[in-house]
């Protein structure tokens, strides 16, 4: 079997029936062609509630769905007397997080003009990796230890990766 390197916007219409076999290693799958358009819309809505994906193309093998990396920005405001302790605990959590197979990157940044504000930039290879991350011992330890240090509940915003493509991480 030939190795096929795909970016999130690859045209895979010419791969035909081999698509499912080739794409398994790239976090993708081919859904059999639905017989009615309403069935397609129902499937797309269902898959949208799972991992992030992009409907790529229709071809003889079916409809290709390709997983897209998930980027999470976590905003944190810490009580002034806890800044250093929060920083140390968060850096240790980040050092452990980047060792997880589903984590592509885990940045910790601190605002220059207000050192009580932090942003965690977490890049996950799949949405399932976010769930796995939250089950790790180091995350649970971090979550419990920093909770009393926060001046307000942390918030997060989720993004899909556009550039560099997922193979660039």
Is residue 66 very low, low, confident or very high in pLDDT (cuts 50, 70, 90)?
low
Mean pLDDT (whole number) for 17-42: 41
What is the rounded average pLDDT of the residues 62-84?
84
Number of C-beta neighbours around residue 152 at 10 A: 10
List the Cα angle 164/167/169 in 5-degree steps. 65
Look at residue 67 in the predicted model and tell me its pLDDT. Answer: 58
| pLDDT tens per residue across span 36-57 | 444 444 343 333 333 334 444 4
Task: Answer whether 1's CB lies under 8 Å from 11's CB.
Answer: no
Question: Is 78 a residue whose pLDDT tops 70?
Answer: yes
b/e burial code for range 21-60 (CB count within 10 A of at least 16 → b): ebbeebbbbbbeebeeeeebeebeeebeeebbbeebbebe
pLDDT at 96 over 70: yes
Confidence of residue 25 (pLDDT cuts 50, 70, 90): very low
CA–CA separation, 143 and 74 (whole Å): 13
Domains of the chain: 13-67 (no CATH), 70-161 (3.30.70.100)
**pLDDT tens track for 103-139:** 999 999 999 999 999 999 999 998 889 999 999 999 9
Average pLDDT over residues 142-168: 90
DSSP 6: -
* pLDDT over threshold 90, residue 2: no
If phi > 0 it is left, if psi is from -120 to 50 it is alpha, else beta; for residue 16 that is left
The pLDDT assigned to 159 comes to 92
Please tell me the pTM assigned to this model.
0.64
């Amino acid at each position: 079997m030939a190795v096929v390197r795909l970016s999130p916007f690859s045209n895979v219409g010419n791969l035909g029936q081999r698509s499912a076999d080739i794409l398994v290693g790239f976090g993708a799958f081919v859904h059999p062609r639905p017989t009615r358009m309403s069935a397609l819309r129902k499937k797309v809505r269902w898959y949208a509630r799972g991992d992030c994906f992009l409907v790529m193309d229709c071809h003889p093998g079916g409809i290709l769905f390709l997983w897209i990396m998930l980027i999470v920005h976590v905003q944190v405001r810490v009580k002034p007397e806890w800044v250093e302790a929060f920083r140390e605990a968060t850096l240790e959590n980040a050092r452990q997080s980047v060792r997880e197979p589903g984590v592509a990157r885990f940045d910790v940044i601190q605002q220059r003009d207000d050192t009580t504000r932090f942003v965690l930039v977490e890049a996950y290879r799949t949405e399932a990796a976010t769930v796995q991350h939250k089950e790790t011992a180091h995350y649970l330890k971090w979550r419990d230890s920093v909770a009393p240090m926060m001046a307000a509940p942390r918030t997060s915003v989720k993004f899909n990766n556009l550039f560099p493509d997922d193979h660039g991480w």
